[in-house]
Structure 1
């Protein structure tokens, strides 16, 4: 139904099921990139001629669009970054570095593991990991034990696991964390493409967002910062566009968000991010959730018919991604074969090696859908898997 809005599908015969890695871009987003570079390409927040003013207006309009989309309180709470990885590194190095303990979940992407290692944190030495059960469910009891033992910790938790599609109850996690004086950052890389998020309901202190996983260009994202932390938060980097006044005796910085956005930003990318959010608003989450739930259920039911399939989590509590293996089959071999059948998905550890090691596996086959996927895409996948399995089992 919606594929007509995405030029990729008119120019490719690939069955695209790798949306957890990156999503395709609607024409309105692509057109916004062409318009910026061909009609009003100029820098923002510097010059005051016509095209520069238009570029600044479009850039700031994207901030307003995103603020309203996630129900933040003020535009100043939206800071543009390269993406979730930079957003987490920003908060880790400029705010959370002073916390004695950081608590993460078992299902984190490397982007929410490695930054803490770079601070010298390891298990029991400034880093704690919430257990999950044998179906990868978040252990709230263990989480509370960690909060009791580490008061005023910094909690950094993924909303939706990129590897397994598992959804964490962010409202419950944040409420419990705040009751023990903890501060909460949420990795929302996989969120906006599938679910409505509301900063007033979540009540988290930081929320990291990805553009390219949300139908926007690559190299752009944002971090929501609750207003009460804007003055405490130190700039991750400084330079052009962050300052109020400079001389050789010192510098004074602008207020948020500008003091956090040093240098020339990804102007076209930010504008495209705004257009992608507008497009999502037009499609509507009621449509998105209805379509995805339907296709996801069909996908799960068809996969369950295949002999020897192994699921690792409670797939009823998932969105977007579905991860699995087949008994006696190497996931890489499946990936190689179905690629030749023009099926695009991801095999491997999905930048989530710790949970893979806990499960005793090297990786999985991951199918990740978006609202433009349909039954035909699933049928193409199932047929390719059957052919691949027959070849590998002969």
Structure 2
């Protein structure tokens, strides 16, 4: 039996009031939150509540110091060279939109090119489409192979002197495959292209070193990393932190305002953080990072790898189960369909039996089109998952198969 030593840290997972255990296998959508993160946010509201960067009184000063310490903690976590490279956002989606709405209008012209893959989450597709339509840019698609692999030779063939940006996911939210982000970044940089990595599925499963990868931008969300919703991070290489213009106007991001024109702006990262931030969420993210650091991301990766091997072995014994992606390169999740039965039907039946999975297109319609599917089931795992969760999933799938025929 593979038993998580951290399961008791998560109130929902450890809820003993349910008639039968609740099996949560939807961590790729939102990871559950440990008690320490909830307590940190509650402590802020009970004892430290004030806005940041604008007050000289004690509560405001403490809130500011704590938020900026979290910025440093995030920088250390992804091994950025300075905290000024860390911009707080609402999540991965806003982080990508920030880059789309600042970099593209400033550094591209009509006819320039963007490369994205066909395994991207919609958050790493639609912002580029919107700006490309407005600016007259061309989008090229780096297509995955039939077993879900991105070949570097295919990227090389797409790149040209007009390529301005390459955007790709670190780990696919449907296939769980780890993409060659460091090599892709190096190749793209040879053509002068900027590289953005969608790290939403990456940060919770393995160590991230943005300085080593060399990417220009790396984005992720707090709620994928055992933190709260409504907070995310955009890492910027120093070159872009120093040169990109603001994309939203308001308080906190200005240096001096005068009428009718002539306003000047703060340095990065505050230039990109207009208005009052999600202070409680940011502090919760900081606490989540402390929690992960206390366990050790390598220990988490090793545990999850063992659990994934167990899950794949158990699921292989299920007749009529179609599993998508390459098992040798899969992290954190397994996507599948149960014979001819629609994913929604399977997910609905599982919910009746207290098993939570994700069903649908997973905000990755182009990828599902490549799989020739409209919907798939996805079971995803985290540090609180264990082999009993897998056993219950397999048992319930067997029952549904018999029930539906």
TM-score of the alignment, normalized to the shorter chain, above 0.5: yes
Deviation at 1:106, TM superposition (A): 1.3
2:14 matches 1:7: no
Partners in 2 of 1:340 and 1:212 — Cα distance? 25
Following superposition of structure 1 onto structure 2, how do residues 159-174 of structure 1 map, counting pairs within 5 Å?
159-174=170-185
Deviation readout 1:235-282 (Å, 9 max, x if unpaired)? 120110011111214211111111110000000000111110111000
Deviation readout 1:290-315 (Å, 9 max, x if unpaired)? 11001100000000000011122112
Partners in 1 of 2:305 and 2:133 — Cα distance? 39
Partners in 1 of 2:371 and 2:26 — Cα distance? 22
Change (3 A) 1:219 1:314: same
Q: Which moved more, 1:67-76 or 1:8-17?
A: 8-17
Deviation readout 1:170-200 (Å, 9 max, x if unpaired)? 1111111111111100000011110100012
Q: Which residue of 1 aligns with 2:375?
A: 363
The TM-score normalised by the length of structure 2 is: 0.94
- Is 2:161–2:192's contact at 8 Å kept on the other side of the alignment? no
Q: Which residue of 2 aligns with 1:280?
A: 292
Gaps of 5+ in 1: none
Q: Which moved more, 1:272-281 or 1:7-16?
A: 7-16
2:130 matches 1:118: yes
Following superposition of structure 1 onto structure 2, how do residues 157-306 of structure 1 map, counting pairs within 5 Å?
157-249=168-260, 250-306=262-318
CA RMSD of aligned residues (A): 1.4
Q: Which moved more, 1:384-393 or 1:150-159?
A: 150-159
SS at match of 2:131: coil
Q: Which residue of 2 aligns with 1:39?
A: 47
- Is 1:121–1:127's contact at 8 Å kept on the other side of the alignment? no
Q: Which residue of 2 aligns with 1:328?
A: 340
Partners in 2 of 1:2 and 1:317 — Cα distance? 25
Partners in 1 of 2:133 and 2:381 — Cα distance? 35
Partners in 2 of 1:161 and 1:24 — Cα distance? 20
Gaps of 5+ in 2: none
Q: Which residue of 1 aligns with 2:402?
A: 390
Partners in 2 of 1:10 and 1:18 — Cα distance? 16
Deviation readout 1:55-95 (Å, 9 max, x if unpaired)? 11111010000001111011100000000000000101111
Partners in 2 of 1:121 and 1:377 — Cα distance? 46
The TM-score normalised by the length of structure 1 is: 0.97
Q: Which residue of 2 aligns with 1:24?
A: 32
Partners in 2 of 1:303 and 1:64 — Cα distance? 42
Partners in 1 of 2:53 and 2:175 — Cα distance? 41
SS at match of 1:310: strand
- Is 1:193–1:214's contact at 8 Å kept on the other side of the alignment? yes
Q: Which residue of 2 aligns with 1:106?
A: 118
Partners in 1 of 2:371 and 2:304 — Cα distance? 27
Deviation at 1:214, TM superposition (A): 0.4
Q: Which moved more, 1:299-308 or 1:92-101?
A: 92-101
2:69 matches 1:67: no
Deviation at 1:163, TM superposition (A): 1.3
Q: Which residue of 2 aligns with 1:142?
A: 154
Partners in 2 of 1:338 and 1:185 — Cα distance? 37
Q: Which residue of 1 aligns with 2:140?
A: 128
SS at match of 1:153: strand
- Is 1:45–1:241's contact at 8 Å kept on the other side of the alignment? yes
- Is 1:171–1:202's contact at 8 Å kept on the other side of the alignment? yes
Partners in 2 of 1:48 and 1:67 — Cα distance? 26
- Is 1:43–1:55's contact at 8 Å kept on the other side of the alignment? yes
Deviation readout 1:206-258 (Å, 9 max, x if unpaired)? 00011001001100001000001112211120110011111214211111111
Q: Which residue of 2 aligns with 1:347?
A: 359
Deviation at 1:131, TM superposition (A): 1.3
Deviation at 1:120, TM superposition (A): 4.2
Partners in 1 of 2:129 and 2:192 — Cα distance? 23
SS at match of 1:296: helix
Partners in 2 of 1:181 and 1:245 — Cα distance? 34
Deviation at 1:325, TM superposition (A): 1.2
